[in-house]
Structure 1
Amino acid sequence: MTNPLIAFLNARLDDDEAPARRSYDEAGDYDIRASDATLDHFANWKPERVLAEVAAKRKLLERVALPCGFCLNAVRCVEHDVSAGPPGVWRFAFEEDEQIARLLAEGYAWHEDFDEGWRV
């Protein structure tokens, strides 16, 4: 079972990644000649940049949300401590880690699945 905040973030990263992968040109010649603010903005969000940002956010999320903290020298899992909650639930090692995930989620506050309780 996944923490709802982590599931939300992973789903939004999937949403960001899919169209970028579909439009990415392996030859690296993805180029837009922009002439106004809208095209400038679009040109700034090339698929390679979106994919790099998704990868960086996934790495950050992996570092703050741990499936078994005791095994990874952080919070404990039910295999090691029955007071840790149900098995397989991802947890945050520290309160600050949850705050980092909440800040990442705020970038998707417009999404219908965003929980207002996640706001920092």
Structure 2
Amino acid sequence: MTDDLVAFLRARYDEDAEAAKDAAKRAAAELATADRKADRFLPPYDGSHWSNDYDHVHVHDHRPERSRRRVQIADCGHGAIALTSHIARHDPERVLAEVEAKRAIVDQYAEVAENDGANAYEYDRGWVNALRESARLLALPYAAHPDYRDEWRP
């Protein structure tokens, strides 16, 4: 179970990271397009910040040469503030940071699972069980994925 759960989580995190990077590239392309329209030629940028106002999602570039500009990247329709707020809160930078934190937990679990790297003290103190339950909880948001197994449910 351990190897399969670890592999499952790592695959999902790879997918999440790839989607976030794709979104960041799209946002960078939107900034570059806005620069071309304004007759500005600045280097590509992929470390943007996302925000929302009512029914629009914006990407911000805070470098001084861009004058703290923002470019609209999505229009979700009238009154869609909840949707745009959700999109902005899950900007690529945040998603990538969350993926790295979750990977660290999974890596710790993989290291001590099946007693490979765990000692009696770690077992006695519940460290291994806590990491196992954490890994199961981390898999729960992916329960609808076809590779998810019910045996992983906490």
TM above 0.5, one fold?
Answer: yes
Q: Which has the higher contact order (CA 8 A, sep 6+)?
A: 1
CA contact (8 A) 1:20 1:50 kept: yes
CA contact (8 A) 1:64 1:98 kept: yes
Which structure 2 residues correspond to residues 32-111 of structure 1 after superposition, within 5 A? 32-35=52-55, 36-66=81-111, 72=117, 74=118, 94-111=128-145
* TM-fit CA distance, 1:29: 4.7
CA contact (8 A) 2:112 2:128 kept: no
| TM-score of the pair, normalised by structure 1 | 0.71
> More strand by proportion, 1 or 2?
2
* TM-fit CA distance, 1:31: 4.2
CA contact (8 A) 2:50 2:88 kept: no
1:15 match: 15
| TM-score of the pair, normalised by structure 2 | 0.57
* TM-fit CA distance, 1:33: 3.6
**2:49 and 2:94 mapped to 1: Cα distance?**
13
* TM-fit CA distance, 1:95: 2.4
> More helix by proportion, 1 or 2?
2
**2:136 and 2:50 mapped to 1: Cα distance?**
33
Pair 1:3–1:94, CA change in 2 (3 A): same
Gaps of 5+ in 1: 76-92
CA contact (8 A) 2:9 2:139 kept: yes
| Cα RMSD (Å) | 2.3
